[in-house]
Amino acid sequence: MMKFVAFEQSIYVTDFKNGKHYMSSIVGHALINSAIFGRKHEIKSGGAAFMCMFFIGLGISPDMDYLVYWVFDYQIEPRVTHSILFCFVIGLIASCAKKFVLKNTFISVSHGLFYMASFSHLILDLLVGVHPMPLFWPINSNLIKLPFGILPSAGHIDIKNIYLWRNILIELVILMPVSMLISCKLKAILFQRYKAMRYVFYITLVVGMFVGFSLKR
């Protein structure tokens, strides 16, 4: 079962001032959202590259509270950008942008992929098992986190931090196979041309998840 933490008694596990980030890294979010875009599209043109970057932007948009802190020196509490409502609104804005502003650019992109991109952020952060989020805000301000974790957290953001790079590597070992599953075209190409790849694929995923699960939290 999910672990519920009362908002009033919670300790925020994201330390803006010290650059500590106890959630999935931007690398993981970028990888998954590139795969979401790649479900039915290939990056063969500048327009496709723009659309892929747009999806990556959707995937990392819940972390815009970092931008608010860096620009205005204000820490949003609770982190409402990590709520179901916020991700729905982001998906809705992207869907409206496709219909009224970027209809020629995103003519072949289904509306559902926009919501899939924004909600992927919550899923990845939940799978870290450290960062409690106000998922049901504003109906309920309780913070929610899983009682276990599969993905490592980004940790202290410093290029000299060896644990940052270790965690990103573990994250990639887990999420690269997942991104292949999401991207139907890539999965079909790999499995059809290199049948042995499916065994490497699943072994890599299982080993990565085991290592991620065994990390101290």
Interior angle at CA 138, CA 134 and CA 140, nearest 5: 60
> Which sign, positive or negative, has the C-alpha torsion 134, 63, 119, 165?
negative
Instruction: Indicate the pTM of the whole model.
Output: 0.80
Q: What percent of the chain has pLDDT over 70?
A: 80
Interior angle at CA 68, CA 126 and CA 25, nearest 5: 35
In this predicted model, what pLDDT tens digit does every residue of 92-103 receive, in sequence order? Answer: 999 998 888 777
CA 75, distance to chain mean position in Å, is: 21
Question: Please, which pLDDT band fits residue 199 given cuts at 50, 70 and 90?
Answer: confident
Whether the per-residue pLDDT at 184 is higher than 70: the answer is no
Q: State the average pLDDT over residues 65-85.
A: 84
Q: What is the pLDDT of residue 161?
A: 79
Q: 15: which DSSP letter?
A: B
Whether the per-residue pLDDT at 110 is higher than 90: the answer is no
Q: Pull the structure tokens for residue 41.
A: 């599209």
CB distance 191 to 200 below 8 Å:
no
> Which sign, positive or negative, has the C-alpha torsion 135, 67, 72, 20?
positive
Q: In the chain, where are the structural domains located?
A: 22-214
Q: What is the pLDDT of residue 162?
A: 83
Whether the per-residue pLDDT at 135 is higher than 90: the answer is yes
Collapse the DSSP code of 213 into the 3-class scheme (helix H, G, I; strand E, B; otherwise coil) and give the result: helix
In this predicted model, what pLDDT tens digit does every residue of 156-168 receive, in sequence order? Answer: 667 777 888 888 8
Q: What is the pLDDT of residue 4?
A: 38
Cβ count near 39 (within 10 Å)? 16
Whether the per-residue pLDDT at 115 is higher than 90: the answer is yes
How many residues in the chain? 217
